Structure 1
């Protein structure tokens, strides 16, 4: 009774229906031992509110990702490619000349902003509206609530209220939209060179040929030739017979597959071992040649010391 703050009609009705909560004292006065106290508490942790809160969070992420990509990816880009191939063949030599050059020009950020200002203003307006929703008192109050994930529960309020129904459609749109938000238009054009430009290109070809030819034949500088790479002799192989066979059963037994794998692995292992043995023998040969050279150098050095000692003794005897 001490906790009851306000007695309402619901309290009297509940007391009349529960007579066990009524007692009388020694004087015969009737006093209730318990009374119904109705109190209301406001709670915003509803499913619909949590749905709207996480919809705003997803909308912010959706717009931020595409805004960054669009702001950094828009702008015109021009790529010029030059390819030239020429072949000259006479009785003495065959000359092949190939050149390829690519020049890529990007549009500056200032030019990009001026050309797409209307689009950027629309994107910025949408982003400011969404950020205003995110920084609202509703989102601050709903921060830390439990996560809402798909599929969304279609409650009565969600389906009958037009605003909640629009939010539900927006959620479905964000779930189904997987595009980046912009498209790239590409256009190729072939440029035709005039005769003067072609003459300059052919002159450049002749100049490069003359420089390279003089380097190979008439250059007197000391050019150290790199070690020539020796490759194995390639023997042509001819297919002698092509045998076709129609097979009805396409299921190959595992035993046959394992057999093929074992043969391939064994062959690869044998080739690796043979290559290792060849490298080991070559290394031993090089070490033996190095040791022989060192011993020969030591012998020659010892002989030179003996000759020098004899020359010194002969000179000393002549002086005496």
Structure 2
């Protein structure tokens, strides 16, 4: 709130009006007594919050943007061959496929004349440039993802670019007025913009950078490249690493950008929070009590005044039902579950954990029974897959064992061959779908195995590097051992030299020991002398400290006496000031009372004079 002068003026007038009411009426004092006798809680604080967003992601996207722009302006393309059988008059060009097709479809030959074949119709092949190759569909999907990525962050930064300050006030009170229990609560919150030039300038610059980046991405979204691929199917992860994605630098940068968008799913920012608890002075507290009085009297008095009106209002009656206690067991719930509408139809975590537990138990059991881990794993996998196969066979009735058992009786019963044929076709179609699904799973297993083999190859390369490094370390080790051998061959010479050096060291050690003994004795004597001096100094300091303590004690007593006299003088002065203020207020009230009496007298006199004039005028009119 920028302008507050009128608010301050209104607040002062409101205080004056309350002061007059509190002097004239008895209920405010009664309410204040009850209010202050209850349980009151006052709370007031101010919180300043400033957000600073990170900008590293913008630089990362901008670094990859030239490659994305280059691809959309000059994309890769492929050839799409369209084959069509047309009349010989419309055929412009033939190839080997046309000859093979004509040889396989001799009914298209019109005639053979002089050893030459003249066809009626022939297969033609037309080549068209196709931009909807996998790599370009990948770029299209990346552009759409990038637009959503930047646009979401733009909206978030735009809505949080400004800093703000929150001021909060809360009053809770429980008290009793004239045998009525009151639970009163007042809560106010003010949110104002916070002027922080440095942070605001940084966030607005960041917002401008995001807007510029969003315009660039939107420019690519409306380019001819995206228009050409408007109806192309977007790619779905995992991304296939084609030769173009691996070898072309620009496509490789776009693939790295895809990975970055997958990893960076948050927008980081720093929040600087400043919190301050605000205090209350006695004038502020008085205004708070007056606000509580206003709220109480407004609600209570209006409800009392409208009691007659309230009795004609509609009354809503209802019965509270007791909670329903579930008495089903877990097995009953699993067999007869209550219906729920779920969006996610994948296997949930509960069944996944149960299947993992069952598979782990089977694997442990087969490990105890089998000769190796591989055999146990194969048995466990076969059992797990057998469960799925049995589910398919039982649900779709694909098991032919019962029919084989009853073949004798089936020959004796007349069968509906058409129905049997439809049933066989239906079962064959289901079997084909199951096979195709298993083929997809089989291909995924092969891809997984290939990835694992590549990982093994990579680890082998790392091991080879480690072996080379180990060979180098081994060569260094052998060089050190060779040096040690040379040192051992010269051991005698080194021993003689070392013996002479040790004798010299022993002599020096003896000399140093003698000197150390003399120094130790001198140090002990010096320590005794220093201790004696320290004892004298300590005694002297104790005496000085006692004298200083007594002096400080006398000064403190004198200071306390002076402070006491000063406080008494201030108290007397304050009492005199209060008496003077009371007299001034009394004089002011008497003066105001006299002024009101004078005004009333003048008003009465004026009214009387007006009446007299009116009467005289009426008499004069009557006499005339």
Q: TM-score normalised to the size of structure 1? A: 0.49
Structure with the bigger RCO (C-alpha within 8 Å, sep 6+) is 2
* Greater C-alpha Rg: 2
Q: TM-score normalised to the size of structure 2? A: 0.27
> Higher helix proportion, which one?
2
